[in-house]
C-alpha cells in the first residue's frame, strides 16, 4: 500500500524543493495510483504521497494531518488499528476525523510517543512531521516488510519508499562494498544499498531527524528466541490459534482480498484460513512452461479441495526475458533471485481481480523450513570430533580436488558455523570475487554482514542462530523485497500473516527438535502437524520446492543469445569482469557444470548498471504475453471495483 517521499530541511530551504519533490514522486506512482498528495510545511518540510486505497477508501488521503500538530506519510497496514483506536479513545479521549489506520498511527504517536511502535501490529514504514517540535519521527516494522530508505546531507534529509525517488537528488555512484556483498549473497544486505549515500532503515528500527540536521537511529525490536525453549502444552494448537487470528486480522480491508497459492503448505494454509472468512476467495498461481517446474496441478487440486477459485498464469522463457529489465528497475537494488519473474506475473494477474493478496512468506524463517537448517545435525559426526582430529580432516578436505564426493562435507564440518553459514544463497566465493571484481578489496568479507548477528545470537542453539541470521539478512534482503517490489509494481498489496508478532512469539519458543525431528528429513514438522486439519492431506507432507525456475534449462537454449548479448554489451564491465560471465555461460551451455545462478547474478547486475548508472538501457514495459488458465469455477468471480 502506497509510497512516500519526504524532505526535512536542515537549512530552511524546503519550500524551493516542492516542485522537485512532486516530480520525483511520480517515479513511484505504481505504488499508489489512486491519490497523490503533497504538503509543504513552510521552509522546514515537504511531504509527498502516492496512495493505494485499501482501508477507509473515500477518506484517509495523505499526507494526513492530526491534532493540528502532525503530518504523516504512512505506507503499510496496521491490523490492530480498530483495537488501538478504541484504546486511544477510552484512555485519552482521542478524536478521529477518519475511520482508517493512518490517523490511528498519528494519534498513537501523539499520545504514546516513540513507544507507540511497540503497539503496532502490522507492516509499516512512516514519517511523522511534528510542526511544534520541528522534528521528524519515522519507523519501519519489525521484520522489514515495508521499505524505507533515506539520503542525508548537509542541507537536509530525504526519506522514501523506493530509492528511485531519491536518485534525482544525488549522483548515482556504485558502492564497492555493497557490490562485493551482492556477489556473495545475491542481494544487497541492509542497511546498505548499491548506491553510495543512500541507505535503508533496518527492520525494527525507528529514527528522529531534527532541523539541526541530526539523524538518530534506534533499534526498537529484534527477534528473541528462547535460549532454553520448551515445548509447553499443545504447541500445535497455539500455532494454529495464533495463525488463525493473524489471518483474520490480515483480512481487514474495504476492497477485495485474494491469496497467492503455490504447491506448498504455507500459502495453502493461509488461503484455507482466509477462505473461512471469505468463501468467495480468489487464489492466484504462477506456472512455469517447463516439465517438472510447474506447481499448477497441485495448486489447482488444493484450490478445488478448499472450494476456492484459482487463476493461474503460465510463464515461459520469452516472458522472463521481456520482463527482467523492468523488474530490475522496480527492484532498485539488484536481487538475483529468478523467482522474481513468476512472482511479477502472478501479481499482475492478481491485480486484475483484487487489490490485496495474502501470501506465505516468513513461515520458513520462523518454523525452520529450509533444508539447510538440518546441517548442524548432519555434520555432527565431524563437528563432534576433538579439535586436533578436525584440523587433520580439514587438511584432507583441502587436499581433495573440487567436486570429489565428501570434500564439501569435510570442509563444512571442519568450519565453524559463524564462518560457513551465509544464509540461503551463496553465489561467488572470495577467491572467485578476487578474479571477478576489477577492484577487489580483501578487507571486505561476508562475515562483516553475518558476524554482528551471530554475536547477538551467541547464546542460542545452532538452528536458532541460523534462523536469526536469515531473519536479519535473507528475509528482508531477498524474500520481502521480492514480495514488496513485485506486488507494488502492479499496484497490488501483499500481506504476510506469518510475519506477525503473535505468530513469531509462538514460533520463537519452540525447541528445535519440534521443528526438525531428530530422525526425520522433514522440516517445520510442528507447523505441518498444526496445519493438518486445515490443508489437504497431500500438502502436509509435501517437500518444499522453493519456487524453482528453469533458468538452468533456458540459459542453454532459449536464453543463451540474450544473456550473452547483455554480458557483452553492458558497461558494468568497468566494475566486474563480464567476460568471465560469458565463459561461465558457455561452460554451462556445454554441460560442464551448472553455472546458471552465477550467470543470472551477473546478468541482473549488468542490467542494473545499464539502467541505473550509465542510463544506456531503457526498462521499457514488457510485452503482455501471459497465458491465463481458466480452471472450472466453483464460485462466482470477484471483480475489481471500477472506482476506488
For the annotated catalytic residues, the residue numbers are 2
Q: State how far the Cα of 201 lies from the Cα of 500, in Å rounded to an integer.
A: 20
Per the listing, cell 520462523 goes with 366
Are 151 and 197 within 8 A, CB to CB?
yes
Per the listing, cell 507432507 goes with 541
Q: State how far the Cα of 631 lies from the Cα of 255, in Å rounded to an integer.
A: 24
Question: CB-based contacts of 455: which residues, under 8 Å, 6+ apart?
Answer: none
Bond from prior residue into 191 cis (ω within 30 degrees of 0): yes
Reduce the secondary structure of 315-355 to three states and give it as a string: ECHHHHHHHHHHHHHHHCCCCCCCCHHHHHHHHHHHHCCCC
Q: What angle do CA 612, 614, 620 make, to 5 degrees?
A: 60
Q: What angle do CA 599, 603, 606 make, to 5 degrees?
A: 140
Count of C-beta atoms within a 10 Å radius of residue 21:
22
Q: State how far the Cα of 45 lies from the Cα of 6, in Å rounded to an integer.
A: 7
Q: Considering only CA atoms, which of 78, 39, 40, 74 is closest in space to residue 60?
A: 74
Instruction: Indicate the burial class of 15 (C-beta count within 10 angstroms; 0-12, 13-18, 19 or more).
Output: middle
What torsion, rounded to 10 degrees, do the Cα atoms 396, 426, 507, 534 define? -110
Q: State how far the Cα of 610 lies from the Cα of 437, in Å rounded to an integer.
A: 17
What torsion, rounded to 10 degrees, do the Cα atoms 273, 279, 281, 287 define? 80
Bond from prior residue into 63 cis (ω within 30 degrees of 0): yes
Instruction: Indicate the burial class of 553 (C-beta count within 10 angstroms; 0-12, 13-18, 19 or more).
Output: middle
DSSP for 7-37, written as a single string: EEESSS-GGGGHHHHHHHHGGGGGG-BTEEE
Q: State how far the Cα of 487 lies from the Cα of 358, in Å rounded to an integer.
A: 11
Are 73 and 48 within 8 A, CB to CB?
yes
Q: Considering only CA atoms, which of 129, 124, 162, 160 is closest in space to residue 143?
A: 124
Q: State how far the Cα of 204 lies from the Cα of 142, in Å rounded to an integer.
A: 4
Q: State how far the Cα of 49 lies from the Cα of 39, in Å rounded to an integer.
A: 9
611 backbone φψ class: left, alpha, beta (φ>0; ψ -120 to 50): alpha
Q: Residue 500's Cα: distance from chain center in Å?
A: 14
| CA distances for 371 relative to 265, 378, 406, 532, 551, angstroms | 15, 11, 18, 20, 22
Amino acid at each position: 500500500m502506497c509510497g512516500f517521499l519526504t524532505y526535512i530541511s536542515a537549512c530552511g530551504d524546503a519550500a524551493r524543493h516542492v516542485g522537485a519533490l512532486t516530480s520525483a514522486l511520480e517515479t513511484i506512482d505504481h505504488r499508489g495510483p489512486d491519490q497523490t498528495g503533497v504538503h509543504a510545511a513552510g521552509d522546514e518540510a515537504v511531504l509527498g504521497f502516492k496512495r493505494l486505497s485499501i482501508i477507509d477508501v473515500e477518506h484517509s488521503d495523505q499526507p494526513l494531518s492530526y491534532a493540528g500538530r502532525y503530518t504523516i506519510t504512512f505506507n503499510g497496514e496496521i491490523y490492530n488499528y480498530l483495537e488501538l483506536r478504541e484504546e486511544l479513545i477510552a484512555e485519552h479521549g482521542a478524536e478521529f476525523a477518519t475511520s482508517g489506520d493512518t490517523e490511528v498511527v498519528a494519534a498513537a504517536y501523539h499520545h504514546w510517543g516513540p513507544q507507540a511502535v511497540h503497539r503496532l501490529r502490522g507492516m509499516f514504514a512512516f514519517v511523522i512531521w511534528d510542526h511544534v517540535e520541528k522534528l521528524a519521527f519515522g519507523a519501519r516494522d519489525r521484520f522489514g516488510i515495508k521499505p524505507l530508505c533515506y539520503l542525508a546531507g548537509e542541507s537536509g534529509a530525504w526519506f522514501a519508499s523506493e530509492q528511485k525517488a531519491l536518485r534525482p537528488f544525488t549522483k548515482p555512484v556504485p558502492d564497492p562494498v555493497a557490490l562485493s556483498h551482492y556477489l556473495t549473497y545475491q542481494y544487497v544486505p541492509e542497511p546498505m544499498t548499491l548506491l553510495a549515500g543512500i541507505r535503508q532503515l533496518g527492520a525494527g528500527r525507528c529514527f528522529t531527524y531534527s532541523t539541526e540536521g541530526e539523524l538518530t537511529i534506534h533499534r526498537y525490536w529484534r527477534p528473541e528466541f528462547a535460549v532454553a525453549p520448551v515445548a509447553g502444552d499443545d504447541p500445535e494448537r497455539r500455532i494454529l490459534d495464533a495463525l488463525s487470528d493473524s489471518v483474520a486480522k490480515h483480512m481487514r480491508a474495504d476492497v477485495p482480498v485474494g491469496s497467492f497459492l503455490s504447491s506448498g503448505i504455507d500459502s495453502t494454509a493461509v488461503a484455507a484460513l482466509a477462505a473461512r472468512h471469505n468463501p468467495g476467495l480468489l487464489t492466484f498461481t504462477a506456472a512455469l512452461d517447463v516439465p517438472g517446474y510447474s506447481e499448477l496441478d497441485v495448486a489447482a487440486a488444493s484450490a478445488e479441495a478448499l472450494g476456492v477459485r484459482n487463476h493461474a498464469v503460465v510463464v515461459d522463457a520469452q516472458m522472463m526475458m521481456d520482463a527482467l529489465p523492468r523488474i530490475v528497475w522496480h527492484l532498485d537494488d539488484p536481487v538475483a533471485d529468478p523467482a522474481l519473474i513468476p512472482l511479477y506475473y502472478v501479481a499482475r494477474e492478481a491485480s486484475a481481480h483484487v487489490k490485496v493478496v495474502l501470501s506465505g512468506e516468513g513461515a520458513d524463517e520462523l518454523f525452520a523450513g529450509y533444508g539447510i537448517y538440518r546441517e548442524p545435525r548432519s555434520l555432527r559426526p565431524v563437528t563432534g570430533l576433538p579439535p586436533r582430529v578436525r584440523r587433520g580432516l580439514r587438511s584432507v578436505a583441502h587436499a581433495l580436488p573440487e567436486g570429489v564426493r565428501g570434500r564439501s562435507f569435510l570442509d563444512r564440518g571442519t568450519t565453524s558455523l559463524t564462518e560457513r553459514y551465509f544464509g540461503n544463497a551463496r553465489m561467488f566465493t572470495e577467491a572467485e570475487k578476487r578474479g571477478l571484481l576489477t577492484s577487489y578489496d580483501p578487507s571486505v568479507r561476508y562475515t562483516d554482514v553475518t558476524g554482528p548477528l551471530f554475536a547477538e545470537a551467541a547464546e542460542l542453539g545452532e538452528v536458532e542462530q541460523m534462523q536469526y541470521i536469515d531473519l536479519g539478512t535473507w528475509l528482508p534482503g531477498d524474500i520481502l523485497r521480492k514480495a514488496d517490489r513485485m506486488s507494488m509494481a502492479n499496484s497490488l498489496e501483499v500481506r504476510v500473516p506469518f510475519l506477525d508478532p503473535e505468530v513469531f512469539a509462538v514460533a520463537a519458543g519452540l525447541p528445535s527438535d519440534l521443528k526438525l525431528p531428530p530422525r526425520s528429513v522433514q522440516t517445520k514438522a510442528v507447523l505441518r502437524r498444526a496445519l493438518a486439519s486445515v490443508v489437504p492431506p497431500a500438502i502436509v507432507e509435501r517437500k518444499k520446492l522453493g519456487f524453482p525456475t528453469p533458468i538452468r534449462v533456458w540459459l542453454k537454449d532459449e536464453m543463451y543469445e540474450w544473456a550473452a548479448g547483455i554480458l557483452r554489451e553492458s558497461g558494468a564491465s568497468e566494475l566486474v569482469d563480464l567476460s568471465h560471465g560469458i565463459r561461465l555461460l558457455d561452460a554451462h551451455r556445454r554441460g560442464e557444470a551448472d553455472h546458471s545462478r552465477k550467470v543470472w547474478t551477473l546478468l541482473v547486475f549488468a542490467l542494473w548498471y545499464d539502467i541505473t548508472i550509465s542510463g544506456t538501457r531503457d526498462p521499457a514495459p514488457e510485452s503482455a504475453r501471459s497465458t491465463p488458465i481458466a480452471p472450472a469455477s466453483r464460485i462466482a468471480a470477484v471483480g475489481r471495483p471500477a472506482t476506488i
